[in-house]
Chain A
Amino acid sequence: MSKVDDTKHVAADGQEKVPTASETGGPIILFFMIGLALSLVVGWVIFPKLLYSQKKQPIDFNHVQHMELVDDGCESCHFFRDDGSFSGAPTLAQCIDCHEEVQSDTENEIRFVEEYVQKNREVPWLVYSKQPQCVYFSHVAHVKMGNMDCVTCHGHIGESTELPVYEQNRISLYSRNIWGKNIGGFKKNTWDRMKMDDCAECHVKEGVRQASVQTGKGGCFVCHK
């Protein structure tokens, strides 16, 4: 007779001892816990490391040093154009105003002048807060009309002496700063995250009109393209 038949027979007899819950429960719970722990480690620790690639900015930039030299704070370089659009990261033309010649003997400064200024190449800055293409965002509406300061969304970047490493999401290809450093999406400060919920949170809190100025209606296309 086969082994299977033997087992059935024994079980039917009730002569052999059937394993009790306490005897099998231990290993099952153990394996459950191992699975749980591993997945928690993967999800909270390993996944974020794999998800983001780290990129260095082409030139390191010292905000503090520049802030000491300008009169108008952030807007000295990140200014509004006459048509109300926001200039964002400075273009080479602005930098050349001061950096036509090498200003100091730091390796960074020499490289900047040689690689970009002399070759008339724009610096391919990596923009931490670049929103997806489908989002309409107007700086002038927030800064000039809403009287918000830069720090509310961008944090204390203006007080940094070097640029943070740019982390790029390997799937969405956007900066980590949009989702926020915390993989769980938890935030302590207003500038920790720049997702839609964060826009909405402030808009609700401030009682911002949620409808289109032109049509008077709300909906996706008020903020999305």
Chain B
Amino acid sequence: MKIDRRSFLALSVGGTVGTALTPLPWKIQDDLAIWTQMWPWTPDPLDGENTFTHTVSTLCRGGCGVTVRKVGDRVVKIEGREDYPTNQGGVCNLCASGMQMLYGPTRIPHPIKRVGDRGAGQWARISWEEALSMVAEQLGEIRQAGQPETVACLSSRKYGSVAELLKRFLTAYGSPNFMVTPSMMDAYDMTLKRMHGVDGRMGFDLENADYVLSFGSGLIEGWGNTAYMIHTNSVWKERKATVKQIEPRLSNTAAKSDQWIPVTPGTEAILALGIAYVIIKESLYDYDFVNNFSTGFEEFRSAVLSGYSPGNVAKQTGVDQSTIVTLAREFARARRPMALCGRGQGTVPGGLGESVAVHALNALVGNINRPGGVWAMPRPAVDGWAAPALDASAQAGLAKPRLDGAGSAAFPFAEQLFNRVPEALATGSPYPLKALFVYEANPLFSTPGAAKVREAFDQIPFIVSFASHMDETAMAADLILPNHAHLERWEDVPDTSGFHQPMIGLVQPVVEPIRDTMHTGDALLRLAAALGGTMAASMPWENYKACLQEGLASRWSQLEADGFWIDNRYRPDTWSLAFPTPSGKFDFGVAGSDLKALFAPAQPEGDDGSYNLKLIPYDSVRIPNGPVGSPPFLVKIVSDTVLKGNDLFVEVNPETAKAAGFVEGDHAVLKTPLGSATVRVHLSDGLMPGLVAIPRGLGHTAFDGYLAEKGINANDLIGSVEDAASGLDAAWGILASLVKA
């Protein structure tokens, strides 16, 4: 038998025919198809019993009730809690991504101390005992030296038991320097204090308003409580309420409003006064309120009538005279009109004059403490604790002026002015800081003029951070005592987002702490115990939960049962009782201020004539710009006309771009008196000519590879401008130039 080529051919033909008669080819095809569903990166949802826990998310300022779904011990989904009074089932994208903040790689897993240069990222793990005794030792020495006022604390939250505990710790220690990161609520609080005489907070009965005049507030983009505002916007649409958005850029809020009124940045207060002019001139104001329940109206009237005629205002603001008149008439004739301020998400307070001018509109139409109006609200209080015990050392320290000048003769109505701290530390006046606690704040990233804050922090020899995640400020700390993540702890969250009913939400642990972290409340109690004396006596609780329970007193049982406490029968005082000012009336004269000076717009810094444009920051609901950076889910939803790869796009009007020779996508150098950065140009008809708009919240240097080095930080290019009347940061933007890269 001869074996040749044909034999092999026959063998393979036979093999092929045979194979086709077996399941092999079909089975392999089927298996390969299924194999393609088994990529290691394909999410594989856990199977098991679902459990649901109610808590409150503290990642953003909204403080929304959330329902967390777990499979076993693993958090798999965070959704808005349906029966929560504010968000009513909604949740913002940051809080919905909260699992990534719980399980992500940016968590600080245990206490660490710096071993290399500051900011170099060289850390050594230490035990909790060692970490706490390091802090106690430092604080003990400073107190021993009779300088307790040189210890300060910066918190992102003003209310709630942890903020109160930090404040109490400082008080018992002898420091007046408890500070809170600035926000529009500072300006509102001050306005309330000066015009109403109320030491409280502003509340807005938003759903019942039928005509909303928003002076740049990002109503559906993170102003107030994001989820509640989106719900409110739907209510407005259903009830056919009118929303007029006044701002230089066509934001999403402007796009969804009934009318977008572009205004020259920084002149919003002037426009408000122009509207007031028409209301006064045409006698459209509420006679009853103005004549019977207000004081200082004559001063206000003459200040407005002498400088804010529509013609004059039109020149300064770029808004037509006819529009000003129409807005004034519509506003005054609406049943429940409401004027709001706080640019974007309200992370910069703005000047007091702006807040007063806008609030004066509410007062002119008498929509104060009435349905659909602006309400004076009591401050959320942790009132179950006895007053702290103060020894002589504490009393001496507390008698010293605050570092930021708040409450001084120059700024008597200010409570905190963190924006003034960099300068105080640069000059060493009134005194330098020896130690700083940072609680859930990221000032090195989120404060305008971040470079100055960084320089100021370099002056502080001992910085202790309680951060849960490695943010920019934690990177610059000497010691990190990581707090439990937001889903691992107890905490109370009083609503301070402008909701019109007093409310407290309860943060409850959803999972056991997965890292070697400690609740900041417990860390403070242990520190106080280590310091002994009146410090220990002022903070006697066994643990934070006991202290929380005692602080919330009678509200605790409802909080524990329902997860929130609300006073839904709350109604503000009627006009005759509402204004505890010296006159007992609403004060248009703003406590005897020089109104002309009060309403003078903030001048941008560094005007040396070399800048032909104005740079304004804008806030986006897709880009968190508070203490928490974007988790990966959120970075993915930023449009590529905002961020492409690591390139940040600034918006420029096509007319302005054409004059400078830019086309879409061009690289450019954006320069301001504070610095310069390379950006790319995105043409947008939704921005007034002569402006450049930059998103706030990008350009992190810390966190993880999903976020770090993406874009540039607007706060490196835009600084803060001190409002002479209040000390608040009144900056609306900065002068800038944009040249080809």
Q: Do A and B come from one complex?
A: yes
CB-nearest residue of chain B to A35: B14
Q: Mark A90-126, 1 if CB is under 8 A from B, else 0.
A: 0100000000000000000000000000000000000
**Of A42-50, A68-76, A143-151, the one touching chain B:** A42-50
A109 to B34, CA, bound (A): 37
**Of B43-51, B413-421, B474-482, the one touching chain A:** B43-51
B1-17 interface with A by 8 A CB criterion:
1-3, 6-8, 10-17
| Pair A42/B35 contact, Cβ less than 8 Å | no
| Pair A39/B49 contact, Cβ less than 8 Å | no
**Of A158-166, A171-179, A211-219, the one touching chain B:** A171-179
A26 to B12, CA, bound (A): 16
Chain B min CB distance to A79 (Å): 11
A1-57 interface with B by 8 A CB criterion:
24, 26-40, 42-44, 47, 51
Task: Return the contact of A43 from the options B14, B22, B45, B48 (Cβ within 8 A).
Answer: B22
| Pair B27/A32 contact, Cβ less than 8 Å | no
**CB of A207 within 8 Å of the partner chain:** no
**CB of B582 within 8 Å of the partner chain:** no
Task: Return the contact of A33 from the options B6, B14, B45 (Cβ within 8 A).
Answer: B14
| Pair B7/A39 contact, Cβ less than 8 Å | no
Chain B min CB distance to A207 (Å): 28
| Pair A36/B24 contact, Cβ less than 8 Å | no
CB-nearest residue of chain B to A28: B10
| Pair A36/B38 contact, Cβ less than 8 Å | no
**Residues in B whose Cβ lies below 8 Å from that of A91:** 48-49
| Pair A83/B22 contact, Cβ less than 8 Å | no
The verdict on A39 contacting B31 (CB below 8 Å), with A28-B6, A85-B49, A133-B44 known, is no
| Pair B18/A47 contact, Cβ less than 8 Å | no
**CB of B609 within 8 Å of the partner chain:** no
B28-63 interface with A by 8 A CB criterion:
28, 30-32, 34-35, 37-38, 42, 44-45, 47-50
Q: Mark B553-571, 1 if CB is under 8 A from A, else 0.
A: 0000000000000000000
A42 to B27, CA, bound (A): 13
Chain A min CB distance to B47 (Å): 7
**CB of A88 within 8 Å of the partner chain:** yes
A40 to B44, CA, bound (A): 38
| Pair A27/B3 contact, Cβ less than 8 Å | yes
| Pair B11/A32 contact, Cβ less than 8 Å | yes
| Pair A35/B49 contact, Cβ less than 8 Å | no
**CB of B645 within 8 Å of the partner chain:** no
**CB of A134 within 8 Å of the partner chain:** yes
Chain B min CB distance to A45 (Å): 9
A83 to B48, CA, bound (A): 12
**CB of A190 within 8 Å of the partner chain:** no
A171 to B35, CA, bound (A): 6
A38 to B48, CA, bound (A): 47
**CB of A87 within 8 Å of the partner chain:** yes
| Pair A31/B14 contact, Cβ less than 8 Å | yes
| Pair A133/B42 contact, Cβ less than 8 Å | yes
**CB of B21 within 8 Å of the partner chain:** yes
Task: Return the contact of A36 from the options B3, B14, B47, B48 (Cβ within 8 A).
Answer: B14
Q: How many A-B residue pairs have CB under 8 A?
A: 112
| Pair A28/B7 contact, Cβ less than 8 Å | yes
Chain A min CB distance to B195 (Å): 53
Size category of the binding interface on chain B: 35 or more
The verdict on A27 contacting B18 (CB below 8 Å), with A51-B27, A83-B50 known, is no
The verdict on A132 contacting B34 (CB below 8 Å), with A31-B10, A35-B11 known, is yes
**Residues in B whose Cβ lies below 8 Å from that of A34:** 11, 14
CB-nearest residue of chain A to B49: A81
A132 to B30, CA, bound (A): 12
| Pair B31/A42 contact, Cβ less than 8 Å | no
Chain A min CB distance to B67 (Å): 14
| Pair B27/A179 contact, Cβ less than 8 Å | yes
**Residues in A whose Cβ lies below 8 Å from that of B37:** 132-134
A44 to B19, CA, bound (A): 9
Instruction: Pick the most buried of A27, A36, A51: most chain B CB atoms within 10 A of its CB.
Output: A36
A181-198 interface with B by 8 A CB criterion:
183-185
Task: Return the contact of B22 from the options A40, A81, A174 (Cβ within 8 A).
Answer: A40
| Pair B49/A87 contact, Cβ less than 8 Å | yes
A59 to B19, CA, bound (A): 39
| Pair B50/A85 contact, Cβ less than 8 Å | yes
A150 to B10, CA, bound (A): 50
Task: Return the contact of A172 from the options B18, B24, B31 (Cβ within 8 A).
Answer: B31
A88 to B48, CA, bound (A): 8
Instruction: Pick the most buried of A35, A133, A173: most chain B CB atoms within 10 A of its CB.
Output: A35
A30 to B4, CA, bound (A): 13
Chain B min CB distance to A128 (Å): 15
**Residues in B whose Cβ lies below 8 Å from that of A51:** 27, 31
| Pair A37/B18 contact, Cβ less than 8 Å | yes
**Residues in B whose Cβ lies below 8 Å from that of A83:** 50
| Pair A32/B14 contact, Cβ less than 8 Å | yes
Task: Return the contact of B10 from the options A32, A133, A169, A185 (Cβ within 8 A).
Answer: A32
Question: 24 A–B contact pairs at CB < 8 A?
Answer: A29-B10, A31-B8, A35-B17, A36-B14, A36-B17, A38-B18, A39-B17, A39-B22, A40-B22, A43-B19, A43-B21, A43-B22, A81-B49, A81-B50, A83-B50, A85-B49, A88-B47, A132-B34, A171-B32, A172-B31, A172-B38, A179-B30, A183-B23, A185-B23
Seen from chain A, the residues whose Cβ lies within 8 Å of a Cβ on chain B are 24, 26-40, 42-44, 47, 51, 81, 83, 85, 87-88, 91, 132-134, 169, 171-174, 179, 183-185
**Across the A-B interface, the 9 shortest Cβ-Cβ residue pairs:** A43-B22, A35-B14, A39-B18, A35-B15, A172-B34, A31-B10, A32-B14, A171-B31, A36-B14
